[in-house]
Amino acid sequence: MIKIKERRYSMCMTTTEFCDANANITANLPGFEQNLSVLKDTCVQIKLIGEEQKLDRTGLTESKNNLKSELIVLAADNARKLVAYAKLTNNATLLAEIDYSETDFKRFANNDVKDYAHIIYERAQTHVAELGNYGITAETQSHFIAAIDSFNASLTNPRIGATAKSQATKQLTVLFKTANRVLSEMDAVVEIVRLTEPNFYNGYRSVRKVMKAGKSSVRVKGLVTDAATGMPIKGVSVMFVAESELLKSKSADVAAVKSVVTKKTAEKGGFSVMSLASGTYQVRLKKAGYIDQVVMVNVNDGEMSVVNVSMMRN
C-alpha cells in the first residue's frame, strides 16, 4: 500500500478500537454497530491484501532468467553435437536447421530461445539412436526437454505476478471506498451524542483524523477534556512513567519515579508523543484546579495508542 493508504488503514483500525472501548455508548446509536462490523471486516481484508502487495515478485523474473541461461547452455551444446553429426553424415538439411551458437541464443527473444531449443531437441530425437557417440542419449534428451518445459512455464510467471499485484490494487480501492462509506455514516450518527457524551464525541473525532506524513510516526495521541463541560483543557501536564520504573520504586509519589516523557496539552486539549518505546506506561495528568488523574496505556510497535481523559474540578 502507498503511504496515504497505510495512514488511512491505521486510522480505521484506531477508530474500531476506540469504538470497542466505548461500546456502552455506541450500542445505542442507530446502525452504528452494523457499520462498525463492516468496518472491522473491511480492515481485515485491507490488511491481507496489503501484505500480498508487499510480496517480492522479483524472484519470479530472476528464476526465469536462471532457467533461460541453463537452457541456452544445453541448447548450444546439443547444437554443436548435432552440427558435428550433420557434417560427418553430409546432412545439409539438418545442419541448416540446427546450426546455432550460444551467442545466437543469447540474442534471441525468450520465445525464440524456447522455439529453437525445441527444434534442436526434435531433430536430435529423430536421430537419437545414432548420436550416442556424440554425447546425445535418451537420458540427455530427457534432461533437455525438462529444461525447455521449465523455461516455457516460467515465461508466464512474471506476468501473472504483475497481474496479481494490479488486481490487489483494484481490490484495495474498492475496500477503501467501503470503509469511507461506513465511516461517513458512523460520523453522522455520532453527532447525536455530541452534547450528551462530549468525551466520547471529542475522542471519536480525534481518532478519525488521518495523520499527516512525517519523519516520525505518532506513538500516543490524547485529548483531555473537562468532565462537566466536555470542553478541552489547555496546559495539563501529562507525564508518562514506565511500568518498570513503578516496579522499582516502593513509593507511589510522583517525585519518587522517573518519567520517560512529559507533555503539555495544547489549546484544544490535545497532546501527542512521537518517540516512545513499546511497553506499558502509567500516564499521570495534573493541572491546578483539577483532581489529578492516572490511567494506564499500552504502546505497541506499528500502532498508535489513544488516551482520552476527562478531568473533574476540585
Q: What ranges do the domains of the chain cover?
A: 1-211, 214-314
pLDDT at 86: 96
pLDDT band per the 50, 70, 90 thresholds, residue 277: confident
Name the helix (H) or strand (E) containing 220: strand 220-226
What pLDDT is recorded for position 180? Answer: 94
Work out the angle between the directed axes of helices 32-53 and 157-190 (0-180°, nearest 10).
160
* Cα distance between residue 229 and residue 231, in whole Å: 5
pLDDT of residue 254: 47
Q: Using alpha carbons, list the distances in angstroms from residue 222 to 33, 214, 236, 271.
A: 24, 19, 11, 5
Cα–Cα distance, 34 to 54 (Å, whole number)? 31
Q: Is pLDDT above 80 for 165?
A: no
Please identify, in words, the CATH class of the domain defined by 214-314: mainly beta
CA proximity to 300, closest of 207, 214, 217, 241: 217
List, in order, residues 6 or more apart from 267 with CB less than 8 Å away. Answer: 232, 234
Average of per-residue pLDDT across 75-98: 96
Q: What pLDDT, on the 0 to 100 scale, is given for residue 216?
A: 47
Q: What is the pLDDT of residues 183-240, one digit of tens each?
A: 999 999 999 999 999 888 988 888 888 655 444 467 899 999 999 998 999 999 999 9
Question: Is 140 a residue whose pLDDT tops 90?
Answer: yes
Q: Give the closest residue to 76 by CA, choosing from 50, 49, 54, 103.
A: 103
Report which of 67, 89, 212, 252 is spatially closest to residue 153, judged by C-alpha positions: 67
Least confident of 39-48, 213-222, 284-293: 213-222
178: pLDDT confidence band, cut at 50, 70 and 90? very high
129-135 long-range contacts, CB within 8 A, separation 24+: 130/85, 131/81, 131/82, 131/85, 134/81, 134/82, 134/84, 134/85, 135/81
Question: Edge-to-edge strand order for the sheet containing 220-226?
Answer: 270-273, 220-226, 305-311
For residue 168, give the C-alpha cell.
Answer: 490487489
CB-CB contact of 114 with 160 (8 Å): no
**pLDDT confidence of residue 257:** 63
pLDDT, one tens digit per residue, over 47-71 is 888 776 665 555 567 778 899 999 9
User: Over pLDDT 70: what percentage of the chain?
Assistant: 86
